A and B are shown apart, each in its own frame.
Chain A
Amino acid sequence: MIPLAHGFVVRSDLPIPEWLFGWAAAMVLVVSFVALAILWPDPRLQEEGWRPLPRGLGHRLTSRPVEIACGAIGVFLFAVVIYSGLRGTQTATANFTTTFIYVIFWLGLVPASVLLGDVFKAFNPWRAIGRAVAWVARGAARGELPAPLAYPSWLGRWPAAAGIFAFAAMELVAANGDRPENLAIATLIYSALTFIAMALYGVEGWIERGEAFSVYFNLFSRLSPIETRDGVVGYRRPLSGLPALEALPGTVPLLAVMIGSVTFDGAAEAPIWTGIAPDISRFFQDLGLSPQTALEVTFLIGLIAAILLVYGFYCLGVIGARSVGGGFTASRLGGAFIHSLVPIALAYVAAHYLTLLLIQGQAISFLASDPLGDGADLFGTADTQIDYGVIGATATWYWQVGFVVAGHVTALTLAHDRALAIYDKARLAVRSQYWMLAIMVGFTSLALWLLSQSNA
């Protein structure tokens, strides 16, 4: 089989052993019943209790010089990614671009967002460039620019869902998706689309709903106790940022893409997929496709199937919850509970990519000194090496199971709180929760099962 993406993954995880799988699954059930037992009777998380950071720090962190410095760092890294992708070596592991995009940016910003809030917004190169251009244009026009078009409400988070899907396809489906040149070109194409959309709908308007990575990292930052509001950094109760998530159109598909793509990445190593993929691939070869294209089409089908599976499963839970009564439409209910899938998505990413971030992330040390892979040593760190033993297999298993169980508990907490808020009869709220509980147990079991699959 032609090797597909993740070709730069050097150390793969051992599957979690059966006993741990069994124990963790039991734990999930235990936790779920505990949750039912100790659930509170009144909603608690629907208010955020936001306060600015003390001693003016909240203002200083968002002051103009800090904003400009962060934006400049973002634009600089963006330029390095493009330049080293186009000019540097095309060996994925020796080029700054591949590791920076797939590991530092895509994976590293996830824990950063969860701990520190929406940091990507501050460093977002597209936002920085967009704002700088708007500032220059305002100066040139000697006054206000024409107002941007109103963002169509039906569009919602659909562009973000499409963008994350495209990124996942690049990473998991495209045979040469880790080739630095291809990544640089994809980044340029995405940038062009982003700037056009910003010109139409305004910089902040597009960042908030359409720009895929802003929306993606913003979702995770809603778990954070830190939030910037009206230009002031402050803190709030943990988790209280998620209930405020507006259920715009496209939000459910976006979460399905997020969870489904990790699911596919895990399942692609499992016998269930490695058993049927060659057959599907042969079918497309018989239709006249080249072996590589046939394999890409096969993986694309797998990716879409995994996303539809996740989407369908969530819809099933919503239909079930609707059947208990209360007079809600399916889309109202689907939107009402979608925020509870964010911690599940986080658990999937954390459990699946923990070692990739910890191990391949170290490569940025020597890649920063030698971004093009041409033997340069800018910071004197070009000779550093990756310590593949930084986390052992046993520790990895415990962290993975810990993430999955914690995500499960958080999701249950959020779903229960929301049920109390939207159902006026407590009895209906509890009955709707049985359905949501089943969904959460399903997603969590799937996550554990994926971790127990061997890739050998």
Chain B
Amino acid sequence: MSRNQRIGLVVVALVVAVVAFVVARPGDDDDNGAGHAAQTAPAQTETEAAEETGETQTETAPQEAPRPEVSRIRVRGGTVVGGVQRVQANKGDTVRIVVTSDAPDEIHLHGYDIYENVAPGKPGRFVFRADIEGIFEIESHVAEDAGRDPLLARLVVEPS
């Protein structure tokens, strides 16, 4: 193989790589400011406000940020109804999570380090801005102290 052939091969490969990158890369400008609402994956999600885009404002709160869904986590008899939950959000969203339990407990959202106490009839409410990307665990400290699996849900914050 001659020197020019080798260089040619390298150049072709580089072009292929760059083209592949440009083609494969999703247009992340598309959803600028679209503020995806937080959502819980499994069944018992209760929609309090529809997902909004920047263009279609609702009449109720025109100048406020889109009101996100509330993710509900129900703990009954020491386990989460419907298994470990997944709370999905994009960076910058306001996330609302309500935890109800049939026993007193302290709920800890790791990373954001928010603690809320819950008791029967007294749900714990987490309201915060999702500023840190990554996957964070929401745990029950009572279960942890008892040596049971404390994991209630995972908060998944994706880049906006």
Contact = CB atoms under 8 A, between A and B. Distances in A.
Contacts of A393: 133-134, 157-159
A223 to B, nearest CB: 24
A456 B133 contact: no
B13 interface: yes
Interface string B8-29: 0110010011001100111000
Interface stretch (A32-40, A42-50, A76-84, A231-239): A32-40
Interface in B101-160: 110-112, 131-137, 148-151, 154, 156-159
Contact of B25 (A23, A26, A456): A23
Interface size class of B (residues with CB under 8 A): 20 to 34
B9 A37 contact: yes
| Chain B contact residues: helix, strand, loop or mixed | mixed
A14 B16 contact: no
Contact of A34 (B9, B132, B134, B158): B9
A23 B133 contact: no
Contact of A388 (B9, B21, B111): B111
B20 A27 contact: yes
A2 interface: yes
Indicate the member of B10, B13, B157 with the most A CB atoms within 10 Å: B13
Contact of B16 (A10, A17, A30): A30
A279 B157 CA distance: 30
B20 A10 contact: no
Given A12-B134, A388-B134, A34 B25 contact: no
B20 A23 contact: yes
B20 A3 contact: no
Given A13-B135, A26-B20, A37 B1 contact: yes
A14 B10 contact: no
Contacts of A33: 9, 13
Interface string B38-72: 00000000000000000000000000000000000
B110 A10 contact: yes
A389 B25 contact: no
Contact of A1 (B132, B136, B149): B149
A191 interface: no
A85 B145 CA distance: 19
Contacts of A388: 111-112, 132, 134
Nearest to A15: B135
Given A19-B26, A23-B21, A456-B86, A394 B159 contact: yes
Contact of A3 (B10, B111, B112, B151): B151
A11 interface: yes
B134 A23 contact: no
B17 A456 contact: no
Contacts of B157: 393
A14 B13 CA distance: 29
A102 to B, nearest CB: 17
Nearest to A392: B133
A2 B143 CA distance: 11
A14 B111 contact: no
Given A37-B10, A38-B6, A392-B159, A19 B135 contact: no
B158 A3 contact: no
Nearest to A397: B159
A14 B24 contact: no
B17 to A, nearest CB: 5
A27 B17 CA distance: 6
* Interface core residue of B26, B131, B135 (most chain A CB under 10 Å): B135
Contact of B156 (A14, A31, A392): A14
A10 B158 contact: no
A239 to B, nearest CB: 20
B151 to A, nearest CB: 7
Contact of A38 (B10, B133, B159): B10
A51 B158 CA distance: 49
Given A23-B20, A38-B9, A12 B135 contact: yes
Given A34-B13, A389-B132, A456 B24 contact: no
A449 to B, nearest CB: 16
A30 B17 contact: yes
A193 B118 CA distance: 49
B27 to A, nearest CB: 11
Interface string A122-152: 0000000000000000000000000000000
Contacts of B26: 17, 19
A389 B131 contact: yes
20 contacts: A3-B151, A10-B110, A10-B111, A10-B137, A11-B111, A11-B132, A11-B135, A14-B133, A14-B156, A19-B24, A23-B24, A23-B25, A26-B17, A26-B20, A30-B17, A33-B13, A34-B9, A393-B133, A455-B135, A455-B154
Interface of B: 1, 5-6, 9-10, 13, 16-17, 20-21, 24-26, 86, 110-112, 131-137, 148-151, 154, 156-159
Q: Which 4 A-B pairs have the closest CB atoms?
A: A393-B133, A37-B9, A12-B135, A11-B134
